[in-house]
Structure formats: C-alpha cells, structure tokens
Amino acid sequence: GQNIDQPTEMTATEGAIVQINCTYQTSGFNGLFWYQQHAGEAPTFLSYNVLDGLEEKGRFSSFLSRSKGYSYLLLKELQMKDSASYLCAVMDSNYQLIWGAGTKLIIKP
C-alpha cells in the first residue's frame, strides 16, 4: 500500500530552527510537495522536490532523498505566524497526490 509518515506534532521556540521529517512508500514517484495549513484554512503550496537535494526558498528549505524515501522541511528563524500544520504529499505514478496526516507545529515565544 501507499504510506506517508510524518510526526503528529512538534514544538519549537521563536527564532529557532525546526526540521519536519517525512518518509514515504508509494506506487511510483513524480515529486514530493510540502504544504502549509493554518487552522481552519486551506492548504497552501510551499515547495516541490523531484530530484535529490536541497531546495531553498527564503526561510524555508526542503530536502529529498529518493533512494531513502525521505524528505524534510527546514524552517529557519521561526516566527509565531509559522504555527500551522505542515503537510507532506507525494505524487504517485497516476499523478495523484498521496497525503500524510500533517505535522502540527507549535511555536512558543
């Protein structure tokens, strides 16, 4: 079966760095996505990786290792507004997104 695993909840301090991990087993691979979802709102796109390595976008970076079925989202200089759920999703061989349950990130002052 297809499976995406990520931690349920993480806590970090304002100004710090946090790494959210995602491991996956899917039927085929056409890229891995990270989305941010604030409570009561829609998911919004953060990043996309299809090749191994690190993609950097401002305070956010995403890493992919296809051989290990592993990705992480790195958030630097955490701000209170980064408190949200972070969703990992893999596009399978049918170009459908398989979603993890999300990681709720709590930022403390």
Q: Does 69 bind other proteins (CB under 8 A)?
A: no
Among 91, 103, 105, 107, binds other proteins (CB under 8 A): 91
41 binds other proteins (CB under 8 A): yes
Shortest distance, position 101 Cβ to other proteins, whole Å: 5
Q: Of the candidates 12, 18, 73, 98, which one interacts with other proteins according to CB under 8 A?
A: 98
> Is residue 4 part of the contact set for other proteins (CB under 8 A)?
yes
CA–CA gap between residue 35 and residue 67 (Å, rounded): 22
Query: Is residue 28 a contact partner of residue 46, using CB atoms and an 8 Å limit?
Result: no
* Amino acid at position 65, single letter: S
Quote the longest CA-to-CA distance of the chain: 43
